[in-house]
């Protein structure tokens, strides 16, 4: 009863109040100022409100003839993205899931909501297990003969430090190592054959996060050069809770995405007959999703209620960015797509320090994956970090 009152009465009033405040805030910022030091950019608070009130545009371009793979597509923004791909006439949309019941449920919902049968399929994949990744990619190669779009959306977040069988903390295993290994296996599949239909390049898109930069600030300066960052974030004493560890995983994943982009320039494949692949990242913004379902305390529940109803975008709104990122051209290769635009102010991946950290994280990740991918060692040797710039 109390939750219903908040969601149907109080929070709509708060959102109306915020719209009014934002209106006058914009008028104030447009007025001429005699103070040179007065701010011209919105505060972080109003940036969040702007994002909530001004979501990305709904993509309308056709995906006719496209085969789309969504890693983690049975819930949240992954599911909403799958709905859009099917609605936009994709020929085949494959969702990965850990539980076949979730896959069947998602497929049924998509068929009911789009009216299209035999377009959406699901396959089992658990990024916690390197063996599961290998089994999945072998099955995919046998059953799906071409790929045009791969959307790497799967991710986890936990309140407590949880270690997988391989010795890695689960957030790092799923969000970084498992995702990177899967991308290594999928890239040759993407490059196989001609370009995507409708004259577009193929796409490998990594879902990024709003706050990954905060993880960089949490690392002691002396640890950036002397410490293996994967091992640093893997240690229980450095685990600072759900949000901090999730942000850390997204920071490392951004370096992984850039590493792939540098290894595979958008204008060439790995062979003469291969197609080019645009490798980019997308930030859907602060969202209402299932990712924080492991919150247990009353404080977490209360903050979650405010988060869902005042600040965050819906999963549907966030999915718009995921789909539109897969429509962009080679100008987004190695870049971050957010709010219908390329983000160019990412200092963590620019300059000498960013370049060194990019190379460091990439080598750490590839070193771990050498045990599970025969060609992984070549990913290190393909990059000449002194001659290549680091993508923003």
The SS3 of residue 94 is: strand
* Cα three-residue angle 358-282-153, rounded to 5 degrees: 95
Q: What does the alpha-carbon distance between residue 390 and residue 200 come to, in Å, rounded to a whole number?
A: 24
Q: Would you say 306 and 232 are in contact if contact means Cβ atoms under 8 Å apart?
A: no
DSSP conformational letter for 41: S
Q: Would you say 32 and 57 are in contact if contact means Cβ atoms under 8 Å apart?
A: no
Q: Would you say 119 and 93 are in contact if contact means Cβ atoms under 8 Å apart?
A: yes
The SS3 of residue 247 is: helix
**Sign of the C-alpha dihedral computed for residues 371, 372, 375 and 379 taken in this order:** negative
114 CA to centre of own chain: 25
Q: Which of 199, 196, 296, 298 is nearest to 241 (CA)?
A: 296
> How would you class 52 by CB atoms within 10 Å of its CB: exposed for 0-12, middle for 13-18, buried for 19 or more?
buried
Distances (CA, A) of 288 to 100, 210, 212: 24, 13, 18
**pTM to 2 decimals?**
0.83
Q: Which two tokens stand for residue 266?
A: 């958008």
Any idea how long the chain is?
392
pLDDT in tens, the chain (392 residues): 555 645 565 656 655 555 555 554 454 454 444 333 334 445 555 666 676 678 899 999 999 999 999 999 999 999 999 999 999 999 999 999 999 999 999 999 999 999 999 999 999 999 999 999 999 999 999 999 999 999 999 999 998 999 998 899 999 999 999 999 999 999 999 998 788 888 899 999 999 987 777 777 777 777 777 789 999 999 999 998 888 899 999 999 999 999 999 888 876 444 434 568 999 999 998 876 555 455 555 555 555 555 555 667 889 999 999 999 999 999 999 999 999 999 877 666 666 777 888 888 999 999 999 999 988 877 776 655 444 444 43
Q: What does the alpha-carbon distance between residue 239 and residue 319 come to, in Å, rounded to a whole number?
A: 29
Q: Would you say 137 and 188 are in contact if contact means Cβ atoms under 8 Å apart?
A: no
């Amino acid at each position: 009863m109390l939750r219903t009152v908040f969601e149907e009465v109080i929070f709509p009033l708060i959102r109306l109040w915020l719209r009014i405040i934002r209106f006058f805030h914009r008028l104030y910022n447009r007025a001429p100022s005699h103070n040179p030091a007065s701010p011209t950019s919105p505060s972080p608070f109003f940036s969040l409100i702007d994002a909530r009130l001004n979501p990305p545009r709904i993509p309308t371009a056709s995906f006719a003839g496209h085969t789309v793979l969504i890693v983690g597509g049975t819930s949240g923004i992954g599911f909403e993205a799958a709905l859009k791909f099917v609605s936009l006439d994709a020929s085949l949309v494959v969702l990965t899931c850990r539980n076949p019941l979730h896959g069947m449920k998602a497929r049924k919902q998509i068929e009911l909501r789009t009216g299209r049968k035999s377009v959406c399929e699901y396959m089992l994949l658990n990024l916690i297990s390197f063996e599961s990744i290998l089994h999945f990619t072998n099955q995919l190669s046998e059953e799906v003969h071409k790929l045009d779009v791969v959307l790497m959306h799967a991710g986890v977040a936990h309140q407590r430090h949880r270690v997988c069988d391989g010795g890695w903390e689960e957030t790092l295993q799923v969000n970084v190592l498992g995702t990177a290994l899967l991308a290594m296996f999928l890239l040759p599949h993407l490059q196989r054959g001609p370009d995507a239909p409708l004259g577009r390049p193929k796409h490998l898109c990594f879902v990024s996060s709003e706050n990954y930069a905060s993880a960089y600030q949490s690392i002691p300066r002396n640890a950036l050069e002397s410490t293996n960052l994967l091992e640093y974030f893997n240690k229980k004493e450095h685990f600072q809770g759900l949000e901090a560890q999730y942000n850390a995983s997204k920071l490392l994943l951004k370096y992984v995405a850039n590493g792939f982009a540098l290894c595979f320039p958008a204008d060439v494949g790995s062979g003469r007959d291969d197609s080019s692949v645009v490798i980019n990242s997308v930030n859907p913004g602060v969202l209402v999703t299932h990712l924080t379902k492991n919150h247990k305390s009353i404080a977490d529940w209360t903050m979650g209620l405010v988060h869902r109803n005042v600040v965050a975008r819906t999963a549907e709104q966030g999915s718009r960015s995921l789909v539109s990122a897969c429509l962009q051209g080679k100008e987004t290769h190695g870049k971050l797509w957010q709010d219908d635009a390329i983000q160019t102010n990412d200092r963590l991946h620019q300059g000498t320090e960013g370049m060194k950290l990019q190379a460091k994280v990439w080598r750490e990740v590839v070193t771990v994956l050498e045990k599970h991918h025969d060609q992984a060692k070549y990913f290190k040797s393909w990059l000449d970090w002194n001659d290549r710039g680091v993508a923003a």
